[in-house]
Amino acid sequence: MGSKETGYTATIDGIEHEFDSIRSVLAKANERKSGDELAGLAASSSAERIAAKDIVSRLTLETLYENPVVPADEDEVTRTIRDGVCEETYAEIADWTVADLREFLLAESTDDEAIRALREGLTSEMIAAVTKLMSNLDLVVAAAKMTVVARCNSTIGTEGTVSFRLQPNDPADETENILQSVREGLSYGVGDAVIGINPVSDDAAQVKEILQATAEFIDRWDVPTQNCVLGHITTQMDAVRNGAPADLLFQSIAGTERGNREFGIDVELLDDAAELGRNLCRGDGPNVMYFETGQGAELSNDAHEGVDQLTLEARCYGLAREYDPFLVNTVVGFIGPEYLYDGKQVIRAGLEDVFMGKLHGLPMGIDACYTNHTKADQNDIENLAVLLTAAGANFFITVPMGDDVMLNYQSNSYHDGPTLRSLFGLQAAPEFEAWLEEMGITDDGRLTERAGDPTIFTQP
């Protein structure tokens, strides 16, 4: 058994396109991305791209299973993904082609339950491969079928809801400024996914101070949410061991062992963190981990192992699913134009990532964002947010007026939370929805006159 890789050819209009490995076919089958071009992995013409997609469509899932893009003996992410596969489920679909998988996911008869039954048989490479065959609307349709519910203090991902991370970053880590931004965000009804702060200083005492300030605020106003300060995982672990009140533990992850080493982590450290989180985090759980990812991270750390950025992104999700996280989001446009050049590439990558995360069974959200040297603007990420609300993304990142003055980039605005909910007839996480009504911020799901006024939280 097992088909070891040889050369792959496809003939289009009499022209033969040849690829020397599955890794190369997978890379060249991607929609155009500047990062794959920078890595020297991209298709050299539009026709070659389609030839590669044609070959991908005919690969069997067994071939992908047998040929992980980084060998298992060299990479613990590969081993983690393989160990997570249910052999019985896999055996039932091993002879499917990637085209079969695509058409299964899109069939009217395939619902959430049917996808759930298949999920454990899929490796990240299989999920990456099918993504390369999907159009943008295919990705939306298939992602929308999948419901992934996660629970900490609030419950996110239930049908008919969409949640938002409130990101009140401050360039000086001033807790009063952070809290003022929290008040602003809550008054728009965002913050049900998490109140999550990126600290300027990656220091355990600083992390603890922000955790304490946000925890006190959450307790004072009885907000059914969770807090998180997104320092390095080891910094958060130190803070929590010193009694800091954290609901979630966060870490950025990569799709290769080498990439994770660049982030200062490995599987053993994540295992320890997850255990610490279950024991010492104050969130009700059971889900207490929070991961961020993003196409291009491995290449930027010179740790891509000759693999394209979409496939590496899928492998991040393969790693993440081992830890039953409460939140996972891609930070899609943060990394710069050398990886995702413009709004079109950012939108494509955002759709791919949320689809791939959900197909892995993750409570998947997105930081739909851009930096000022990327050829994109607020309109692009508003478009992406509409598409991904249609796709049933669990949550979005939101910042005041779309402008994060600490990380110096733009994401969705606090305003986009109530806008997307009302446009799609969705509610906040159920506990949070009830709280919004109780606080008089919404009435029957609609913003009241009190909404948008942060000073409703300043009275004793």
**Toward another protein, which CB reaches closer, 319 or 441?**
441
**Toward another protein, which CB reaches closer, 159 or 449?**
449
Least Å distance, CB 378 to another protein, is 7
Q: 144-149 long-range contacts, Cβ below 8 Å, gap at least 24?
A: 144/390, 144/391, 144/392, 145/105, 145/110, 145/111, 145/112, 145/115, 145/392, 146/112, 146/115, 146/358, 146/359, 146/392, 147/112, 147/392, 148/358, 148/361, 148/362, 148/363, 148/364, 148/394, 149/363
46 is in an annotated binding site: no
180 is in an annotated binding site: no
166 is in an annotated binding site: yes
Least Å distance, CB 162 to another protein, is 14
406 is in an annotated binding site: yes
**Toward another protein, which CB reaches closer, 170 or 298?**
170
d(CA 209, CA 268): 28
Least Å distance, CB 400 to another protein, is 4
**Toward another protein, which CB reaches closer, 153 or 181?**
181
Q: Are strands 446-447 and 442-443 parallel, antiparallel or unpaired?
A: antiparallel
**Toward another protein, which CB reaches closer, 158 or 378?**
378
**Toward another protein, which CB reaches closer, 73 or 176?**
176
Least Å distance, CB 278 to another protein, is 34
d(CA 407, CA 82): 36
Cβ neighbors of 404 (< 8 A, separation 6 or more) are 167, 169, 410, 411
279 is in an annotated binding site: no
54 is in an annotated binding site: no
Least Å distance, CB 173 to another protein, is 11
57 is in an annotated binding site: no
Contact status, residue 145 vs residue 110, Cβ threshold 8 Å: yes
How remote is the C-alpha of 425 from its chain's centroid? 23
**Toward another protein, which CB reaches closer, 153 or 167?**
167
Least Å distance, CB 168 to another protein, is 8
Q: What is residue 405's DSSP assignment?
A: T
* Range 408-423 burial, b when 16+ CB lie within 10 A, else e: ebbbbbbebbbbbbee
198 is in an annotated binding site: yes
- Please, where are the H alpha helices in 189-232? 204-220
Q: How many other CB atoms are found less than 10 A from the CB of residue 107?
A: 10
Least Å distance, CB 312 to another protein, is 19
292 is in an annotated binding site: yes
Q: Are strands 15-19 and 150-151 parallel, antiparallel or unpaired?
A: unpaired
Residue ranges that bind another protein, judged by CB under 8 A: 34, 37-38, 168, 170-172, 177, 180-181, 184, 188, 337-338, 341, 371-373, 375, 377-378, 399-403, 405, 408, 410, 413, 415, 418-419, 422, 447, 449-456, 458-459
**Toward another protein, which CB reaches closer, 277 or 337?**
337
d(CA 394, CA 429): 10
Least Å distance, CB 335 to another protein, is 12
179 is in an annotated binding site: no
* Dihedrals phi, psi of 218, to nearest 5 degrees: -60, -40
Q: Which residues are annotated as a binding site for substrate?
A: 165-167, 198, 292, 367
Q: Which residues are annotated as a binding site?
A: 165-167, 198-199, 251, 292, 300, 367, 406
Q: Which residues are annotated as a binding site for adenosylcob(III)alamin?
A: 199, 251, 300, 406
